[in-house]
Structure 1
């Protein structure tokens, strides 16, 4: 049921990603403009990730009517994975699904407006009606009341909460002209506070280099505990990511959270070598009119910050890079009570995202 109120008025807030939760939502990858060769490789990786997550929580795998039988066959022996028939335009559950809020007892969803990361200005495909409808359909499927935040445009990957009143975002994304151009920064901040129950918004200037979401925060910085974050980092000053990460570090080091605490920043290296689209991968795409196209050699927004925290583990992207193990070791120290699941994620990143992008957490 749609709630005619706002989360703040009802004392609801966005919990931390690392808080215990009911489960998560994923979407089966089939869009030919995102997933080369009909998603053959992507589906294998999605299934591996889903099974890792489902070891400690429930998971709902969305698909349209044409692909639901395929999903049912794939997961017929996985008791915690539930196929659901909800059509979408692509497979980015974090961005199109409901952002969930809680009052400590009850969970509700937020249905933001979704416009494919920029609408007519710089959106990534021309039609996104199914994606925009997904959030309230998911809420109906898993029995969540929800708030309708339309026409405010927001994606789930563009906000990250500590569950204690602090939310981090990037200016590059939330102030982009394709989202809410008629609103000032102050007005956008008030909207975030009203819907996420936030007391303080930390505005980082930017995200990961060449991130086509206009630099979502979930690819560059994430909470890992109270007043603790990981930040994507490189020491290579010739890499364009260096200046971007340094600008974010400057903000974090000169900020306090909603409770007045200084941040502890854990630097998480980006891959040592850029991850780029290959000629073979490019041949596997089928782009439709109005869709953003890829180019051979295009640098992809690879980051280890884009991990997923399950109740029992942390699913960490891997890129066949020497920093893979470094990232696993750092996250293992930060989450000593959770199992680390290193998963080769190239098949996801060639679709334009990463592990966190394809999951949407549902709190308890």
Structure 2
């Protein structure tokens, strides 16, 4: 049976958490300024999250001692072999029912359309993690990354055509097939199909860089106001789609805009800087910031999020070490909702 048939659904990210999972960096070639800077960045973010909720750092056996030294004593170290460090995309998606029982979904993972090899260990992480915690799982028969979807917990899902309809993921599936699967596995009924994610995003337009639900009926969107920037057309198009959408509960969406930071490049490549890659935790928001000429934008993003989440503490963390590898705080974390494991 599918999760929906058994009463399971994907809860919203802002709901109460049991813990956060992360994966220790190990693929050296993806880090522009070296993997040591990346590891320090991961450790700093893990420490920030651990002030709000438990953190489990998944490590390769060879890196266990190093991770223990760089991370806080509060951070649990768990050995599961992996190829890369983006657990949002290769980790499990947790689902629950109205009785609070937890289960997990093990999606197929192909390294964002086979961009990095090997990825066979990454494709096993979700299954091994669920087995370790004794969480019953569903093995989904198609490729999906957690960063490509976002839900409001009330039947509506956000995604992009650029990613989910990309032929490097599920070339045998059409849009209606993907919607059918997402309905069966996540219990979502309405789909907001944005066209594209941010310019140059190597994930092929993950939605968690461009838009997310802040609460039911409320979407936060990163926007560009410079008509000469390629993100202008992308974000204005997405804004128009959101303005005309009615969600699963019949609500017209409230849209809150956050302006993108100034463009930044490394080795001629534009980095995908996004404030939308923030991560809600129990009582807090972990916000990636970029400093330098982006400082006033950083502070404005913090101010907007403080208004959206008045009951949470917004903590700014340095997002630069993480974005050099292609993602940010949301990409390197995966939440386990509070619930009962049977």
Q: Partner of 1:127 in structure 2?
A: 118
Helix, strand or coil: the match of 1:25?
strand
Aligned residue among 257, 260, 275 for 1:270: 260
Helix, strand or coil: the match of 2:271?
coil
Q: What do the CA deviations read for 1:197-237 (whole angstroms, capped 9, x no partner)?
A: 10111111111111000000111000001100100101111
CA–CA distance in structure 2, aligned partners of residues 252 and 358 of structure 1: 27
Q: Partner of 1:63 in structure 2?
A: 59
Where do 5+ consecutive residues of structure 1 fail to align? 278-295
Q: Is the 8 A contact 2:33 2:324 kept in 1?
A: no
Q: Is the 8 A contact 1:318 1:342 kept in 2?
A: yes
User: Using a 3 Å threshold, how does the CA distance of structure 1 residues 168 and 76 change in structure 2: closer, same or farther?
Assistant: closer
CA–CA distance in structure 2, aligned partners of residues 311 and 40 of structure 1: 29
Alignment of 1:1-364 (within 5 A): 5-36=1-32, 38-75=34-71, 77-78=73-74, 81-104=75-98, 105-118=100-113, 123-150=114-141, 152-271=142-261, 273-277=262-266, 296-320=267-291, 321=294, 322-364=296-338
CA–CA distance in structure 2, aligned partners of residues 162 and 215 of structure 1: 20
Q: Alignment RMSD, CA only?
A: 1.1
CA–CA distance in structure 1, aligned partners of residues 71 and 304 of structure 2: 32
Q: What do the CA deviations read for 1:329-352 (whole angstroms, capped 9, x no partner)?
A: 111111111111111111100101
Q: Which moved more, 1:207-216 or 1:30-39?
A: 30-39
Q: Which moved more, 1:170-179 or 1:140-149?
A: 140-149
CA–CA distance in structure 2, aligned partners of residues 28 and 243 of structure 1: 36
Q: Residue 52 of structure 1: CA displacement?
A: 1.4
CA–CA distance in structure 2, aligned partners of residues 93 and 37 of structure 1: 21
Q: Partner of 1:283 in structure 2?
A: none
Q: Is the 8 A contact 1:31 1:38 kept in 2?
A: no
Q: Residue 142 of structure 1: CA displacement?
A: 2.3
Q: TM-score, normalised by structure 2?
A: 0.95
CA–CA distance in structure 2, aligned partners of residues 158 and 261 of structure 1: 23
Q: Residue 37 of structure 1: CA displacement?
A: 5.4
Q: TM-score, normalised by structure 1?
A: 0.90
Q: Residue 10 of structure 1: CA displacement?
A: 0.8
Q: Partner of 1:281 in structure 2?
A: none
Q: Residue 185 of structure 1: CA displacement?
A: 0.5
Q: Residue 269 of structure 1: CA displacement?
A: 1.0
Q: What do the CA deviations read for 1:17-50 (whole angstroms, capped 9, x no partner)?
A: 1111111110111211122455211112211111
Q: Is the 8 A contact 2:40 2:70 kept in 1?
A: no
